[in-house]
A and B are shown apart, each in its own frame.
Chain A
Amino acid sequence: MLRSSSSLTRRHLLASAAGLGLVSLAGRVASAAPEPKGGVLRYATLGLDTSDPHRHTGSIAVQQAYVEALTSIAADGSVEPFLAESFDVSPDGRTYRFKLRQGVTFHNGDPLTAADVVANIERVKSKVKGGWLASAMKLVDGASAEGSGIVTLTLSKPYAPLLNLFSELWILSPKSEGWTETIKTPIGTGPFTFGTWVPKVKLTAPAFRSYWRAGQPIVDAVEFDLSDGTDKSLALRAGDLHIANIQRDTVEALVASGKVDIKTLKDTAWFSIAFNNRKPRPPFDDPRVRSAIALAVDKAAVMKFVGGDKGVVTNQLVAPGNVYFDKALHDADPFAKPDLAKARALLADAGVKPEDHTIEFVSWVEPYPQIVVQMVRKLGFKVNHVALDDIGAQKRLGQYDWDMNAMSSGPRADVFLRWVRLMSDGPNPVLWGGIQDAELDRTITSAVEQPDLARRKAIYLDATRRVAEKVYFVVIGHAPDLIAVARTVRGYEPGFTWACHWASGGVARTALISA
């Protein structure tokens, strides 16, 4: 009986093992089965400001569907080849050589050539006035095509962010309508074409069936919801949207619905308090007073409020895990924990009675600045908190008649795009108090001109120390933006930035299954 039982057990085990093997094989077969094709992917994201990709004014989340660049930013933040099959940078960081991918065609059927790429570089250099890409292109001494497949770029001086920034220099056919002035109908190489655009409403982008990657795109079209007012969480729950950026306060209801998964962008938004550095008034120009105020802020509490369990406290412009993050500097953060006794001692040392002063505090209409204000009030300062909409705050900050703010800034294709805001002539410097510091400018510039990553990181850390020494602003921490993805979506994982399509991910690889 025992033997029989034992024998049966062995047989059962073998049978079970074989069965498991079959199940596993079946599973593999199932997972190897082609994704279901077709359907319209409905995707709510940041807006689209212009039909001319070279003239974009900030929101860079939609364009990638119909136009591609030589490089793109991978989910881990590294640069990956895209329309360029490969690229080389000379040791002095001044010459870039891009080998173009073969077999790429524009939406009008024309093949992509090196001459087209050069024409795009020249267009941005000569026609586009604003933005960091145009600034970078000013450094281009020459762009030349070798045959149809090689583009060589020579810079007047090294510029380390170039490959990252090239992920936003979209390559269009010079036959695009409006090429000489403002492009009306962009002809790109992306997996979808520029269909019908209604500003602030939607963009319908039909699939480009001659896309250079076989089998992609999987869906028939993407319909981008560009509206501001609609409740995305209700639309997600009703199945009207498949992918949408969402606010943290809607997460609980969305998760409870069981219809979506909550994911995050891989780069983070960073949150800070900044002081008026352009026209500071006493006593808020004193680093001791600024430090005292920073010591009143409970960073952990703020980041918990802002980012829940995904909020991270740090003192740097990048979050832990980023190549530019420095653990030692992070551990030495003097403001990591609130210390009201030390803050009061600093104020006493500076001869400041907080009750005699009113802080003019500017923020957007967001909840977290109110928490910061309450923390600062604990020191005894009176606070006149003015919460404004985006543009109102922008205008007020630009007047430099305030003392302190609490602001945040989102993901960027390169860390330089964070640092450039801190330069004396940098773009939109008001969020960080309009710093005017020639020494800091020189440090950031030398980081940008340093081709070697380790050395560049060291220079950026010097810049971080300079900011800390002057207490221009204090980083509170980082939190990622949230993306809700319906469970009927397959193959989509948010990337590093807001891009909807990049070399190793995005909407070209996304499929829809029936609910």
Chain B
Amino acid sequence: MSRWLPVLFALLAGLARAVGIVVVTWFLCRVMPGDVVDVLGLEGGLSEAQQADLRVSLGYDRPIVVQFFDWAQHALAGDFGRSVRFDRPVADMLASAAPVTIELALGSFVVGVALALGLAIAATSMKSRLLEAAVDGLNIWSIAVPTFCAGVLGIIVFSLWLGWLPVIGSLILPIIIIGLDNAGQIVKLVREDLAEAVMLPHVRTARAKGLSPWRIAVVHVLPVAAPIVLVLSGLVLSGLVAGTLTMEILFGLPGIGSLMLNAVHGRDLPVVLAAVTVVAVALVAINTLVDALHRLIDPRVNR
């Protein structure tokens, strides 16, 4: 039990953070200039009297704290309400958007981790200058080239010039772009961790026994580097929240990021809060899972 107590604490701390995020988002949304009635008034030609009536019918005339607890009570029961702007259940809108974001996030995560691991292992095993340069190049790419710029460049090259991929709705290009970015963020650290692992006595023994470089890397070096890879993967997954948002907008993908941004623009508070809650809880779940796995594969953490 004592081994998992820190995980439980981490989970509770994460949940507290998630609640904090939702509360702060709620109040930020309320201090933003304008509300959904302004949006409807701007677009639909509502008179000032009609706008006032609509605010009352939406309960916006009540104290802000009362509004928050009313929303929280329903949210805890799993009822995120209806979009004020589109008069649709928020849960339906989230259910429609989530698969796109999950596909994009998981796809780019797999591409990123696979590329980083593959390159780091190859560079460690083969001691090639070219591969070392590739590691550095990928790292510099992720630092220097914003995904938005890479996305525009990708559209120009692969959609306009080559005509291979559509501009709108394609998952391939954004997955590759975020994947490259993810890989660049972790490849250098993984490479350095592997380089240290190579110097360990059991690896030297394996080399002395004449095992192939790939076998040494995969069987003897990688398990040593697994904890750092896991921690870095957790960071990458957390960072995907921002990364997918940009790509969803650029490539017209109807994911949670697009949903959230449009809801912010339209001051559609129930949708913003529901999306933020889902993302915050997902982040807590990822961090907790990574923490638990880390403890499982690296007993040193529990000491």
| CB <8 Å contact, B168 and A235 | yes
Given known pairs A225-B252, A398-B38, the reply for A199 and B166 (CB within 8 Å) is no
Whole-angstrom CA separation of A236 from B295 in the bound complex: 52
When the two chains form their complex, are residues A240 and B166 in contact, meaning their CB atoms are under 8 A apart?
Answer: yes
Q: Using Cβ atoms and an 8 Å threshold, which residues of chain A touch B160?
A: 234, 237-238
**B162–chain A nearest beta-carbon distance, Å:** 10
28 CB-based A-B contacts, threshold 8 Å: A57-B44, A58-B45, A130-B47, A131-B44, A199-B85, A199-B86, A199-B93, A202-B254, A225-B168, A229-B250, A229-B252, A230-B252, A231-B152, A234-B159, A239-B163, A240-B168, A391-B267, A392-B32, A392-B34, A394-B34, A395-B38, A396-B33, A426-B47, A427-B46, A427-B47, A428-B41, A428-B45, A428-B46
What A residues does B85 contact at CB under 8 A?
A: 49, 199
Point out the residue from A131, A230, A241 that lies within 8 Å of B46, measured CB to CB.
A131
CB distance from B220 to the nearest CB of A (A): 48
Of B34, B96, B168, the most chain A CB neighbours within 10 A belong to: B168
CB distance from A234 to the nearest CB of B (A): 5
Q: Please tell me if the beta carbons of A50 and B86 are within 8 angstroms of each other in the complex.
A: yes
Task: Flag the segment in B61-69, B102-110, B186-194, B257-265 that touches A.
Answer: B257-265
Nearest chain A residue, comparing its CB with the CB of B251: A230
The answer to whether B96 and A234 have CB atoms under 8 Å apart is: no
Q: Once bound together, how far apart are the Cα atoms of A258 and B54, in whole Å?
A: 49
Residues of B with Cβ closer than 8 Å to A?
Answer: 32-35, 38-50, 53-54, 83, 85-88, 93, 96, 152, 155-156, 159-160, 163, 166-168, 249-252, 254, 258-259, 261-262, 265-267
A322 at interface by CB-CB < 8 Å: no
- Cα–Cα, bound, A394→B39 (Å): 8
Flag whether A15 is at the interface (Cβ < 8 A): no
* Residue from A199, A238, A428 in contact with B42 in the complex, judged by beta carbons closer than 8 Å: A428
- Decide if B258 touches A201 in the complex (CB within 8 Å): yes
- Chain A, residues 406-446, CB within 8 Å of chain B (1/0): the string is 00000000000100110001111100000000000000000
Given A238-B166, A240-B166: A227 touches B258 (CB 8 Å cut-off): yes
Q: What residue in chain B is nearest A182 (Cβ atoms)?
A: B87
Q: Which of A57, A228, A392 contacts B43 (CB 8 A)?
A: A57
CA distance A230 to B254 in the complex (A): 11
Q: Distance in Å from the Cβ of A474 to the closest Cβ of chain B?
A: 22
- 12 more A-B residue pairs beyond the given contacts A130-B44, A425-B49, with a C-beta to C-beta distance below 8 A: A55-B87, A129-B54, A235-B167, A238-B166, A241-B168, A388-B33, A390-B42, A391-B265, A394-B41, A428-B41, A428-B45, A428-B47
A237: B residues at CB distance < 8 A = 160
CA distance A420 to B46 in the complex (A): 11
Residues of A within 8 A of B261 (CB): 229
* Chain A min CB distance to B285 (Å): 26
Cross-interface CB contact of B254 among A129, A201, A390, cutoff 8 Å:
A201
Contacts A198-B96, A238-B166, A395-B38: A49 and B43 contacting too (C-beta < 8 A)?
yes
Is B159 a contact of A238 with CB atoms below 8 Å? yes
List of B residues within 8 angstroms of A56 by Cβ = 44
A234-B250 Cα distance, complex, nearest whole Å: 11
Tell me how far the C-beta of B40 lies from the nearest C-beta in chain A, rounded to whole angstroms.
Answer: 5
User: Which of these, A51, A230, A238, contacts B249 with CB under 8 Å?
Assistant: A230
Residues of A183-210 at the interface with B, using a CB-CB cut-off of 8 Å, are: 198-202
Cβ contact within 8 Å between A199 and B45 = no
Would B54 and A238 count as touching, CB distance under 8 A? no
Query: Is B34 a contact partner of A391 (Cβ separation < 8 A)?
Result: yes
Q: Is A240 a contact of B167 with CB atoms below 8 Å?
A: yes
Q: Verify if A132 is at the interface (C-beta below 8 Å from B).
A: yes
A129-B42 contact, Cβ under 8 Å, with A228-B265, A230-B251, A392-B34: no
A59 contacts chain B at the CB level, 8 A cutoff: yes
Residues of chain B within 8 A (CB-CB) of A52 are 87
CB proximity of B182 to chain A, nearest CB, Å: 22
Q: Determine how close the nearest CB of chain B comes to the CB of A39; give it in whole angstroms.
A: 16
The verdict on A234 contacting B50 (CB below 8 Å), with A199-B83, A229-B261 known, is no
Beta-carbon contacts of A241-252 to B below 8 Å, as 1s and 0s?
100000000000
Q: Which residues of A contact B254 (CB under 8 A)?
A: 198, 200-202, 227
Assess whether A469 is interfacial by the CB under 8 Å rule: no
Is A85's beta carbon under 8 Å from chain B?
Answer: no
Please name all residues of chain B whose beta carbon is closer than 8 Å to the beta carbon of A132 when the two chains form the complex: 45
Assembled-state Cα–Cα distance A231/B46 (Å): 31
Q: Is the CB of B262 within 8 A of A425?
A: no
C-alpha gap A321/B7 in the complex (Å): 73
Contacts of A49 in B (CB 8 A): 43-44, 85-86
